Amino acid sequence: MRELIVRGVSGLLYVVLILSSLFFHQLTFSIVLMIFSTLAILEFHRLINHKSFLAIALLLLLVYNFYQSHIDQSVLIFPLAANLVCQIFLLERLFFEKSFKFNYGFKSFLSICYLAFGCFFIIALAGTDENYQPKTLLLFYLLVWVNNSFAYFVGKKLGKKPLFPSISPKKTWEGFLGGLFFTVITAVIFQQFQLDFSLGFYIIFGIVIAILATIGDLIQSKFKRHADVKDSGSLIPGHGGFFDRMDSVIFSSPWIYLIINLHQYVS
């Protein structure tokens, strides 16, 4: 019971920090997320035994220039493409390789293309200071949190069939489907108050986020299994570290950025 209370309080504080900074100002949110992202990157470095500040420096440079509107949107295709290629590479390793093999160059590649660029596209989802859209990011965070929460609770109560036992034995198909169901329901409810997109788009949005969030969590679990640790850190009581809390949004954000921009382009 005490563990559940600690988990709830620390999780609530994390959510309050994210949402309050998100709706206060774009700069405030960027600073808060930069701090969280830096901690997540450092935790990731510990998992893969990597010592470098290049990813953090590049992330800071990207965020600063994006906030100042010094980066043209078309330029973002390069970090986006690099991130998606890295993610596809990680997916191949997730399904077909029993363990990761690291050298310094590969560690740097993961640190920059997976972590730094993934964290950057969380900020990019809300737009620049001149065109700030916090509701887009609110929906993104809300759906990821709903998926992860209901996947956990449904899996704990009803879970029987393991989803990926070699990587995360506690994750089940029942939990995944429960998370998917409630994520789509939340997206449909959100559409009633925010009519920027069609109902069909919100349904697809919910399905895609549920799938991506689950994959992001599984990939992080594989890194932890490689390092033989339960959590990436211990800074958030009951949840582990910041990489534990951000794994799903880091993996999902570039894909969601791509989907939203493609939808706006074809509309």
Name the pLDDT band for 175 (thresholds 50, 70, 90): very high
Give the total number of structural domains in the chain.
1
What pLDDT shows up at residue 6?
Answer: 75
Where in the sequence is the domain holding 58, given as residue range(s)? 2-266
Q: Mean pLDDT, to the nearest integer, of 209-223?
A: 95
What pLDDT shows up at residue 114?
Answer: 97
What pLDDT shows up at residue 198?
Answer: 86
Q: Please state, in angstroms and rounded to a whole number, the distance separating the CA atoms of residues 203 and 165.
A: 29
Q: Please state, in angstroms and rounded to a whole number, the distance separating the CA atoms of residues 253 and 152.
A: 21
What pLDDT shows up at residue 129?
Answer: 67
Q: Of 172, 170, 171, 167, which Cα lies nearest the Cα of 98?
A: 167
Q: What is the dihedral of CA 183, 239, 216, 190, to 10 degrees?
A: 20
Q: What contacts 125, CB < 8 A, 6 or more positions away?
A: 136, 137, 140, 253, 256, 257, 260
Beta bridge partners of 193: none
Q: Please state, in angstroms and rounded to a whole number, the distance separating the CA atoms of residues 115 and 85.
A: 13
Percent of the chain with pLDDT over 70: 97
Whole-number mean pLDDT of the chain?
A: 90
More reliable by pLDDT, 70 or 111: 111
Q: Mean pLDDT, to the nearest integer, of 30-37?
A: 96
What pLDDT shows up at residue 149?
Answer: 93
Name the pLDDT band for 195 (thresholds 50, 70, 90): low
Q: Mean pLDDT, to the nearest integer, of 177-196?
A: 90
- CA–chain centroid gap for 267, Å, is 26
